[in-house]
Amino acid sequence: MPDFEPVLLARVNKPDSTSLESYRADGGYAALKKALGMAPADVVAAVKDSVLRGRGGAGFPAGLKWTFLPKDHSGPIYLCVNADESEPGTFNNRILMEEDPHQLIEGIAIACHAIRSNTAYIYLRYEYGRSYRVLEAAIKECYAAGLLGKNILGAGFNLDVYLHRGAAAYICGEETGLIESLEGKRAWPRIKPPFPAIEGLFRKPTIVNNVETLCCVTHIINRGAAWFKSIGVPPDPANPRDLGSFGPKLYCISGHVNKPGCVELPLGVTARQLIEEHGGGVWKGRRAKAVVPGGISMGFLTADELDTPLDFNGPLKAGCLGLGTAAVVVVDDQTSMVDVLYNCCRFMSHESCGQCTPCREGTKWMTRILERIRAGHGKLEDLDTLLEVAGSMGIIPGTTICGLSDGAAWPVKNAINKFRAEFEDYITTGRRAVTPAQELMAAAH
């Protein structure tokens, strides 16, 4: 795809990319103007036609979600912009907010018009200080220019946007945890139903969308659903549930690569292409042992699975939980999977909100087993215990209140199933594996 031209990141390296003036000079807020000239239902239809799938991790079609709002609702409807971006390896929202805040605000305004909301909350990860300052300035500019507030662009549409900083917890990114947190409570995800579209923030109908999802909306209005669907991958006929993976996507590349960063590509690029063509290859001349396809909660691809296309369907076929946030983390062949997995488990047990028994206890238990293995006291049965715990924590579809539990179970399932020989070797010899797992596997056969 050499001729793909970035859309979402198009303005990123321009000088003064964050100012309203430069955004307008590049044609900014034309989409809003166009949308305000359309009936809200037509905006929803356009987004629905584009099959824009949520970029926050679950891949739920945005337009479809918007249609779940009650019809003829007379009270307030809210939009919550999920900018809590905390999935390890993920930093694309940050770039969008720091470099091109007006693209997001325009998307927010269009979405609010579509869902008939007059209030949007941006729930921002606390650590994103620069995003906070940039967004704050951009929102101010918008109010001054009549792009937010009352009677926007003279079209009779009112919208207030509030920027809210979270207090730094992964669980605040789960949409109902986010809503609870916004309401000033502990971010304990809610049981569903009711889903937020029926009863969300302050018990009113609410749509939660990711930053990148909303940025895409701007371009869909500008260029049309057909344009959006001309990018990416059509539905896999072998998977009747696959809706296709259309549009551009921001991929994050980090870990053991020469050139970590964030690139915009059509959905469907393979992990290998990302590493080789965009990440500058694995560092220090080493090889990749494992690759996280979309944030650690999605699990691992092995070196043999690097040609997996990173669209909404590809990682599933390789036994991963999904595309997640499309944040690729590369693990080189000198790194122990035991250490990698320990790190994943430690994170999840630290971030579990603690409501559900399996997640609260299971994440901690797995962490402690791995701690013991790393301390040289592992037993081979531990691997079965880990798999069993992961199995009861993460049965898809999940048996816990939110998806964190599944996301905590998946790296364990993948790591032990795909790298079992390395774990066994570690336990029996006490050696930190510095040999590529593939060779160990071959030796075991």
Partner 1 sequence: MPTAFVNNQEIELKEGERLNCIQAAQRIGFEIPHYCWHPALSVVASCRMCLVEVGERKPDGTVVMQPKLVPGCQTPVKEGTVVVADSPKVKAAQQATLEYLLLNHPLDCPTCDQAGECGLQDYSYKYGRGYSRLQEPKNIKPDKDHIGDQITLFTDRCIMCTRCVRFTREYSGTSELQVVARGSDEEIDVFPGRPCNNLLAGNVVDLCPVGALCSKDFLYKQRVWWLKEARSVCPNCSTGCSIQVEQNDDRVYRLKPRTNPMSQGHFMCDEGRFGWKYIHVENRLTFPVRRKNGQIRTRDWDDVIPSLQKALAKAAARAPEKCAAIFSPWMTCEEAYMLASFLRSLSPKFRLALGPVRVTGQDDTYPKDFYGRPLEPVRFTIHAEKCPNHRGVSMVLEHFGAAATMGDVLAQAEAGLEAVYAVGGDPQGWLDEAQAAALAKAQLTVVQDILPSPLSEQADYVLTGGSFAERDGTFVNYKGLAQEIHRAIRSPDGARPDGRILWELSGRRGLYSVAAIRKEMAEKVPAFSALAQGVLGEFGVLLNEHGAPEPSVVAAAK
Ligand X SMILES: Cc1cc2nc3c(=O)[nH]c(=O)nc-3n(C[C@H](O)[C@H](O)[C@H](O)COP(=O)(O)O)c2cc1C
Report the site for ligand X in 72-91 (rule: CB under 6 A). Answer: 82, 84-87
Closest distance of CB 49 from ligand X, Å: 17
Listed ranges 16-24, 54-62, 69-77, 247-255: which one lies at the site for ligand X (CB under 6 A):
54-62
Closest distance of CB 364 from partner 1, Å: 4
Residues 397, 394: Cα–Cα separation, whole Å: 8
Using DSSP's 3-state secondary structure scheme, residue 309 falls into strand
Task: For residue 206, list its beta bridge partners.
Answer: 78
Residues 244, 434: Cα–Cα separation, whole Å: 39
Closest distance of CB 366 from partner 1, Å: 11
Closest distance of CB 416 from ligand X, Å: 22
Q: Does residue number 356 form part of the binding site for partner 1 (CB under 8 A)?
A: yes
Residue by residue, DSSP assigns 82-132 as EE---STT--HHHHHHHH-HHHHHHHHHHHHHHHT-SEEEEEE-TT-HHHH
Question: Which one among 210, 313, 335, 367 touches ligand X, defined by CB under 6 A?
Answer: 210
Cβ distance to partner 1 smaller for residue 191 or 226: 191
Task: For residue 302, list its beta bridge partners.
Answer: 290
Q: Does residue number 60 form part of the binding site for ligand X (CB under 6 A)?
A: yes
Could you say which of ligand X, ligand SF4, partner 1, none residue 210 binds, taking C-beta under 5 to 8 angstroms by partner kind?
Answer: ligand X
Nearest to 173 by CA among 128, 204, 138: 128
Between CA 431 and CA 103, with CA 328 as vertex, the angle to 5 degrees is 155
Closest distance of CB 356 from ligand SF4, Å: 3
Q: Which long-range contacts (CB under 8 A, 24 or more apart) does 22-29 make?
A: 23/100, 23/102, 23/103, 27/222, 28/102, 28/103, 28/106, 29/102, 29/106, 29/147, 29/153
Nearest to 375 by CA among 407, 343, 340, 339: 339
Nearest to 109 by CA among 145, 74, 75, 85: 145
What would the 3-class secondary structure string for 367-388 be? Answer: HHHHHHHHHHHCCCHHHHHHHH
Closest distance of CB 295 from ligand X, Å: 9
Could you say which of ligand X, ligand SF4, partner 1, none residue 411 binds, taking C-beta under 5 to 8 angstroms by partner kind?
Answer: none
Question: Which one among 43, 208, 370, 415 touches ligand X, defined by CB under 6 A?
Answer: 208
Q: Does residue number 401 form part of the binding site for ligand SF4 (CB under 6 A)?
A: yes
The two structure tokens encoding residue 54: 């949520």
Residues 157, 137: Cα–Cα separation, whole Å: 22
Site string for ligand X, 403-432 (x = CB under 6 A): xx----------------------------
Q: Which residues of 175-206 are buried (b: 16+ CB within 10 A; e: fewer)?
A: bbbbbbbbeeeebbbbeeeebbbbbbbeebbb
Closest distance of CB 402 from ligand X, Å: 5
Question: Which one among 359, 412, 415, 427 touches ligand SF4, defined by CB under 6 A?
Answer: 359
Cα pseudo-dihedral 287, 257, 325, 61, rounded to 10: -80
Site string for ligand SF4, 178-197 (x = CB under 6 A): -----------x--------
Listed ranges 81-89, 118-126, 236-244, 400-408: which one lies at the site for ligand SF4 (CB under 6 A):
400-408
- Binding interface with ligand X (CB under 6 A): 54-58, 60, 62, 82, 84-87, 170-171, 173-175, 208-210, 213, 402-404
- Binding interface with ligand SF4 (CB under 6 A): 171, 189, 352-356, 359-360, 400-402, 404-405
- Binding interface with partner 1 (CB under 8 A): 169, 186, 191, 349-358, 360-365, 368-369, 371-372, 379, 385, 392, 395, 397-401
